[in-house]
Structure 1
């Protein structure tokens, strides 16, 4: 049996030990690529001061370097997932990894802020092409309950890549030097991308399972979804450059465009397979899981943004120390993510409830410690609370992804996963904008960086409380149905 052979039901024949081994190898390639692309969300945070000095970038330029990646990442997720559903995972995955590798090299060679911004926009789009192929690959290669473990590994990849980014960035800047170390934040992707492409060519299936590969890509749907997502994200990611209150009119305009997208998809679905199957939102697990993901990422991602600024700019720690301070969170998240993938099928959404509660308690503990020990060494005094928050986070991302995508049919796995990740990107952008504005307004008004951190994390914890309420709603609903 070759690496692309499948059984009669569209899945690989997992009874063949060689085929089973190859599907786990294919998953490993996908996880490496996902880690690489998700790492670039947080790794650049610690490089911002170095980029500022090296390229003479202004605040608006730096905002585009950070937020432009998230903008284009979220923009292409659903169309890329749909394209993978229709044309096969391997070709689309290779295209995304190749583009990401090239644009990473171009970003590392940047000689001006405009050069770096353009490279980051293309790099984010490439990341958006890669990631839905990984989740779609899990849907194709694994069946039913056995998806829990690979989704657990993917959840660990998401959590750890986001958390370890500042540490790795600090190490690379320390090794490369203050002037050029930031370039290695981008160059490190090049050898990883090349190796991933070599192994993906051999191991990733070339044709979509359960699909003829002849479905159209719904260009009108792509346009409407793209305009709607940009309208929602642009005022959030450009808060520092575009300060006019008029920018917020884009949010209701974006919602109107997304309603038009939904109506178009309903009409289009009567004749051909749509860009995104709206019937997925009729599935309770997918709907509530998407809401939980959107809200949790709104609080989760903002933590690293304000914490890195607090340590580097506020307290004067080096990028290496600031990155290392996040390590307890990364370790806690990695530990519980690996465990949660094995038990989520027995515990269900209740495991997500426990994780959300742990993450909230961890953030509140950070607030309490910073209040009680304001003069202590922050990387040490906050290690315990960050570990608790990380342990909770590992019980959220992986199980929620498993439960949310468990009932998604394989032929729409890529677009379903793409919409889920689009919600995560919108949540991240909104969380960074909202929590960041609280942080900056507190620091600007009082000059107290510790107070800024406390106020920002209280807002982040409040956002996660909303995710907890959605998870409790799902648990209560399932109990009522069982009765």
Structure 2
């Protein structure tokens, strides 16, 4: 497959940045739906009579559908047209948002929410592919810095925005505004996308086969891995047999690897280029992102539930606790995009250490301070975590995709996003189920506030553990980079010595 598929001359600098603005706006819209809906869960529960299982599916089910659509959509964008796939995804996302907003019952909402997740999964790899296609070198680092800042703000400010919309719409049906908000924004973005995005088409003779069997096997493996976590609520009705899906994950993963190797031996282009994983920067960056994106949404969800249900804070004020994270992350993401070429993986390591310190302070503020002071100090601690988080997202994205050819940008970005969505589903499920399991276990044994203290602490420790995992992979990558640099320096010195002799 050729690296060059632009059908016309490259866009001007001004147009490139306009395209970037459209891509970032649409990515923010999809990420907002991962976080803003969290604060609407109590409203949905009251309005539609949803139980803990349904509430879990609203959050983690979106991430599941998101993850399943990413790789085939990225592959189709690489082969045919990123613009076409972008428009399909955005149109579907807007329609699904309407269906969510008018859902008469919880089943209808879950179906529409799944459709929305699939649409988000179609859009996101096109965004990453277009950014890889239009920006190179140090400019790409700055672009991903701004992109990471925007994504960080979207993740953290979502609960505040959701709480404000619920305050406007009322506690019973205010959650519908969370989805109505997407409609005018989606239509506006669609108009700009049709006008600005570069048309792409395959060159004559380019290989364009689509590995349908590989896509199916990868989808089954991803589904089998995520489903048992999505079905984990922490309640007494959880079926232990759900973990048998992990055996299916192991089997389908083995089948997928075997098929992809055979497909490549036949001279065809597989859905995933395993050569990508030989690049330590890509492999380690993907693992860092998977663990980190498991930790962050889970902590925000647990914090929102704790503040609303445990401390009785209104949704809009509960969401505001995360604003400080958003502001700090926005600044350091922008700064990280400028510093990543100088400091590399060390910047990510420092960011993760700051996130760990911030999370520890959030836990202490929640469970050790009086209820009237707790939210204020949690917000202050979120600033520390957010400052570190900005140095994680955009620099890690830049380092992860640095060595990836443009022709594979869509599928490489898709695999990175699959890791993030798998991490989100697992993290949200593990954190929230730990939170609810603590509430169920301790119900009637202590005061209500004490129970929520324990629930938040236990759930937040899951998020903290995931950040430690991310830090471990970042340290491993830092070590491998330094060893490679030392080895390269020795080879260079040896060659200079032989030349001098």
Per the alignment, do residues 347 and 68 of structure 1 end up closer, same or farther by CA in structure 2, a change over 3 Å counting?
same
Kindly indicate whether residue 38 of structure 2 is the aligned counterpart of residue 42 of structure 1: no
Mapped contact 2:6–2:200 kept (Cα < 8 A): no
Mean alpha-carbon deviation: is it higher for 446-455 or for 384-393?
A: 446-455
Kindly indicate whether residue 351 of structure 2 is the aligned counterpart of residue 355 of structure 1: yes
1:346 to 339, 342, 348: 342
Where does structure 2 lack aligned partners over 5 or more consecutive residues? Answer: 443-447, 487-501
Using the size of structure 1 for normalisation, the TM-score is 0.94
Report the secondary structure of 1:396's partner residue: helix
Mean alpha-carbon deviation: is it higher for 331-340 or for 63-72?
A: 63-72
* Other-structure match for 1:266: 261
* Aligned-residue offset at 1:454: 2.0
Instruction: Provide Cα deviations, 1:300-356, integer angstroms capped at 9, x if missing partner.
Output: 221111101100111111111111111111111111111111111111011000110
* Other-structure match for 1:105: 98
2:453 to 450, 459, 482: 450
Kindly indicate whether residue 465 of structure 2 is the aligned counterpart of residue 462 of structure 1: yes
* Other-structure match for 1:324: 320
Larger Rg: 2
> Number of residue pairs matched?
474
Matches for 1:193-342 after TM superposition, within 5 Å:
193-207=186-200, 215-240=208-233, 243-270=238-265, 271-342=267-338
* Other-structure match for 1:78: 71
Mapped contact 1:85–1:211 kept (Cα < 8 A): no
Give me the whole-angstrom Cα distance separating, in 2, the residues matched to 1:49 and 1:461.
25
Where does structure 1 lack aligned partners over 5 or more consecutive residues? Answer: 1-6
Give me the whole-angstrom Cα distance separating, in 1, the residues matched to 2:264 and 2:185.
39
Give me the whole-angstrom Cα distance separating, in 1, the residues matched to 2:112 and 2:5.
42
Give me the whole-angstrom Cα distance separating, in 2, the residues matched to 1:31 and 1:262.
33
Kindly indicate whether residue 105 of structure 2 is the aligned counterpart of residue 116 of structure 1: no
Give me the whole-angstrom Cα distance separating, in 1, the residues matched to 2:322 and 2:205.
46
Kindly indicate whether residue 480 of structure 2 is the aligned counterpart of residue 480 of structure 1: no
Kindly indicate whether residue 152 of structure 2 is the aligned counterpart of residue 159 of structure 1: yes
Mapped contact 2:146–2:334 kept (Cα < 8 A): yes
Give me the whole-angstrom Cα distance separating, in 1, the residues matched to 2:347 and 2:9.
31
Instruction: Provide Cα deviations, 1:270-309, integer angstroms capped at 9, x if missing partner.
Output: 3211111111000110000011111111212211111011
1:426 to 418, 422, 427: 422
Matches for 1:368-379 after TM superposition, within 5 Å:
368-379=364-375
Kindly indicate whether residue 386 of structure 2 is the aligned counterpart of residue 390 of structure 1: yes
Q: Could you list the structure 1 runs, at least 4 aligned residues long, displaced by more than 4 angstroms after superposition.
A: 7-14, 208-214
* Other-structure match for 1:3: none
Mean alpha-carbon deviation: is it higher for 457-466 or for 77-86?
A: 457-466
Per the alignment, do residues 187 and 212 of structure 1 end up closer, same or farther by CA in structure 2, a change over 3 Å counting?
farther
Give me the whole-angstrom Cα distance separating, in 2, the residues matched to 1:214 and 1:27.
28
Matches for 1:171-210 after TM superposition, within 5 Å:
171-207=164-200
* Aligned-residue offset at 1:145: 2.5
- Aligned CA RMSD, in angstroms, stands at 2.0
Mapped contact 1:211–1:411 kept (Cα < 8 A): no
Give me the whole-angstrom Cα distance separating, in 2, the residues matched to 1:160 and 1:269.
41
Report the secondary structure of 2:113's partner residue: helix
Give me the whole-angstrom Cα distance separating, in 2, the residues matched to 1:43 and 1:60.
19
* Aligned-residue offset at 1:50: 1.3
